[in-house]
Amino acid sequence: MNKVEQFLQKQGIKVIIFLLVLTYMKSCGVDREVTKVKKQLTTLDSLANKRDLEIEGLKAEKRMIQATDRKMLDVQRQSEIDAELKKLGAH
């Protein structure tokens, strides 16, 4: 036990500094991982929002077509919109 006390008296500050540096390095790594996860979640959210916007845009276009008084081209476009909405999974 006497050797340990002597070692700590001589090298104590170096040991403390080393432990502080290790702790700092560990905390930087955790922060970097949290940043990566946040970035991935943001990407997923934006993809979901783009899909929702596309669905709502198609629905609005279909309502607009139904509100106008035109014939054949609009019926074909309504069929295309229905197919796209089905593909996107909108009800």
pTM over 0.75: no
Helix/strand/coil (H/E/C) assignment for every residue in 39-75: HHHHHHHHHHHHHHHHHHHHHHHHHHHHHCCCCHHHH
The dihedral over CA atoms of 26, 31, 36, 42, expressed in degrees to the nearest 10, equals 160
Distance from C-alpha of 70 to C-alpha of 68, rounded to nearest angstrom: 6
Chain-centroid distance, C-alpha 65: 35
- For 33-76, what is each residue's pLDDT tens digit? 778 878 877 777 776 777 788 888 888 888 888 887 766 667 78
In the structure encoding, which two tokens stand for residue 4, read together? Answer: 């340990």
